[in-house]
Structures are given as structure tokens and as C-alpha cells.
Amino acid sequence: MEDVGRGLVDFVRDHQVWAAPIVLLLAFGESLAFISLLIPAWGALIAIGALIGASGISFWPVWVAGGIGAALGDWLSYWLGFKFKDHVAGMWPLSWYPDLLPRGQAFVQQWGIPSIYIGRFLGPLRATVPLAAGIFAMPYWRFQFANWISALIWSAVLLLFGDLISRIVEWVWRAI
């Protein structure tokens, strides 16, 4: 899996015009309940963020693409939870992780709307919080507002973190 991420980052470095669509797909997969359990993409997103400063890729379209991808992934997860309710726990690959969904449900019950913001930044919960919100029929527009705002914040944090790391490495490299 690490080789795939490295290959994507190399592809983005060589074909910068594809940065935004690739980030959109990575963020979508990272936020979609079932796929995020199989393919953690946050590392590739941070690495692409590192390319932003180093190679001159424009931050704004990549940031917006990451936010859109993450919001769409959570929206689809919410819909799946709303549509299939408790049957979601038996679906693959969630059935491999029987304690994940109950943890997400407890988190949503305890925190409500803030759980969408908090869960976005916590790996295993990122996969289950939108599902749980759909299962509990969290009000649609409240969920969507929190979903889109947190997706844009999450995208910015990952990309800027990668950019910051690349700048620190560059600074240390010059200092040595």
C-alpha cells in the first residue's frame, strides 16, 4: 500500500495538473466509511501537501478538491447509515471490525454535531461517525453544514501540515 501512495505522489509531482482530481479521490476514499478502513490515504494527502510548497502546485484548487472529496465521502457514508441503519454493521469490511461502529455510535450520541468535526480528525472514528449520524437520523442539514465545514478544515490541515514539514526539512537541509 505504501508503494501505491508513493507512486501517486510521484505522479502528482510529474503531472501537477492532476493534483486536484487525485486529492479529491484520495479525500473521498479516506472519508468513505468502507474504503477508509482498507486504504488509509491521509499519508498521501500529507505528502501531496509537501509538494505544494516544493513544486509550486497551487494550494487553493487542491484544498477545495480535498474538501469536496472528504465531504462527499462523509455524505455518502451518512446516506448509507440512514438507508441501511443497523444492517451496516454486518457489511464488509465493517464486519471485520465489530467494535468500530458501536464506538462511533457512542461518540455521536455523546457529542452530537461536534462529533462530526472531532471525528473527522480521528482515524478510526472518521470511518464510522457519518454512518452513526445517518443511523441515528441526525438532522440532515445540520450534518451537512458540519460535514462541509469540517471537510474544508481537515483538507487544509493535512495539506498545510505536509507543506510545513517540507519547509522545515528544507530549512534544516540548508542549515546543515
Give me the residue spans of the domains in the chain: 2-175
pLDDT number for residue 164: 92
Cell numbers 472528504: residue: 70
Q: What is the 3-state secondary structure (H, E, C) of 85-116?
A: HHHHHHCCCHHHCCCHHHHHHHHHHHHCCHHH
Q: What is the pLDDT of residues 29-68, one digit of tens each?
A: 999 987 776 777 888 899 899 888 778 889 999 999 999 9
* pLDDT score, position 37: 67
Q: What average pLDDT is seen over the chain?
A: 88
Confidence of residue 74 (pLDDT cuts 50, 70, 90): very high
Residue 54, burial from CB neighbour count under 10 angstroms (0-12, 13-18, 19+): middle
Closest by CA to 152, choosing from 52, 27, 37, is 27
Higher pLDDT among residues 4 and 11, named by residue = 11
Could you give the percent of the chain with pLDDT greater than 70? 97
Answer yes or no: is pLDDT of 1 > 60: no
Helices 123-135, 140-175: inter-axial angle, 10-degree rounding: 170
pLDDT, average across residues 99-127: 87
Instruction: For residues 48 and 11, give the distance between their C-alpha atoms in angstroms, rounded to a whole number.
Output: 10
More confident residue, 85 or 36: 85
pLDDT for residue 18: 92
Q: What is the pLDDT of residues 146-158, one digit of tens each?
A: 999 999 999 999 9
